[in-house]
Amino acid sequence: MDRGKRLLRIGEALERFFGDLHWWPGETPFEVAVGAILTQNTNWANVERAIGRLKAQGVLEPRALHGLDDETLANLIRPSGYFRVKTKRLKAFLQVLCGDFGGNLERMLAGDIRQARQRLLGIAGIGEETADSMLLYAGGRPVFVIDAYTRRILARHGIIDGKPTYGELQRLFMDCLPHDAGIYNRYHALIVETGKRYCRKEPRCDDCPLRRIAGQGGGGKTGSAPAEPTVRRRGRAKCSSGKNS
């Protein structure tokens, strides 16, 4: 079976098991973008605490956040960890957002998707995963987000070997799945949940919803595969790639 069909099988199996996860839990696109930076190297519970502190101070909007001095911002986001580093990264992002786009995130993420992506990648501290999270979850742009969970699950199921680049893994998904932001959103949410609960560093294969998917590699157990799935188009889900395992 080719890799594309196996990716579809995995997505369908996870969707049957988890349903609609309704991630990323942000009230506004700007909150999602801030969360994408704060979730670097921490778990989502810590990000939620930091976001809550920003909301409590009434500063979770572009110009208000940009106007804070570094020390005040660092103290507010302290629960997210690496708070001084993340202060610099937030300020770099806000400088472009407010300085070049008048605080209009929709305009910053709009237009040619490659140019929007390169614009984000040009900001200090924003790498491919963070940039793509902003584009997909805050901007509704059709880009697939790759994270450590994605690599781990694909490797354990024998879909990849070696160390493919971020771009190679992203093209695999985007070549095999319909070019649709909602589908990319839902699929990545399912990957994250599977990685957090089952495909951990010490895998819980016996309980994993993918235990019956054929073609598994080192971390899983091979069983009979489910019937050929069809990917259903649904509305946007919301997903976080915050990790704690």
State how far the Cα of 136 lies from the Cα of 131, in Å rounded to an integer. 9
Q: CB of 129 within 8 A of CB of 143?
A: no
Q: Are 92 and 124 in contact (CB under 8 A)?
A: yes
Using CB atoms within 10 Å of the CB of residue 90, give its burial: 0 to 12 exposed, 13 to 18 middle, 19+ buried.
Answer: buried
**Which position has the token pair 């093209």?**
171
Q: Which residue has the higher pLDDT, 233 or 195?
A: 195
Give the span between the Cα atoms of 166 and 194, in whole angstroms: 20
Question: Which range (1-5, 161-165, 172-176) has the least confidence?
Answer: 1-5
Amino acid at site 221: K
Q: Where are the beta strands (DSSP E) in the chain?
A: none
Q: What is the pLDDT of residues 209-237, one digit of tens each?
A: 999 875 544 444 433 333 333 333 333 33
Q: Which of 83, 53, 77, 25 is nearest to 242 (CA)?
A: 25
What confidence tier does 134 reach under pLDDT thresholds 50, 70, 90?
very high
**189 or 20: which leads in pLDDT:** 189
Please answer whether residues 36 and 79 qualify as being in contact, where contact means their C-beta atoms are separated by less than 8 angstroms.
no
Angle at 94 between CA 150 and CA 33, to 5 degrees: 30
What is the per-residue pLDDT for 7? 93
Distance CA 32, CA 240 (A): 9
pLDDT digits (tens, 9 = 90+) for 60-119: 999 999 999 999 999 999 999 999 999 999 999 999 999 999 999 999 999 999 999 999
pTM: 0.86
Maximum C-alpha span of the chain: 58
Residue range 120-128: mean pLDDT, rounded: 98
Token pair for 6: 């196996």
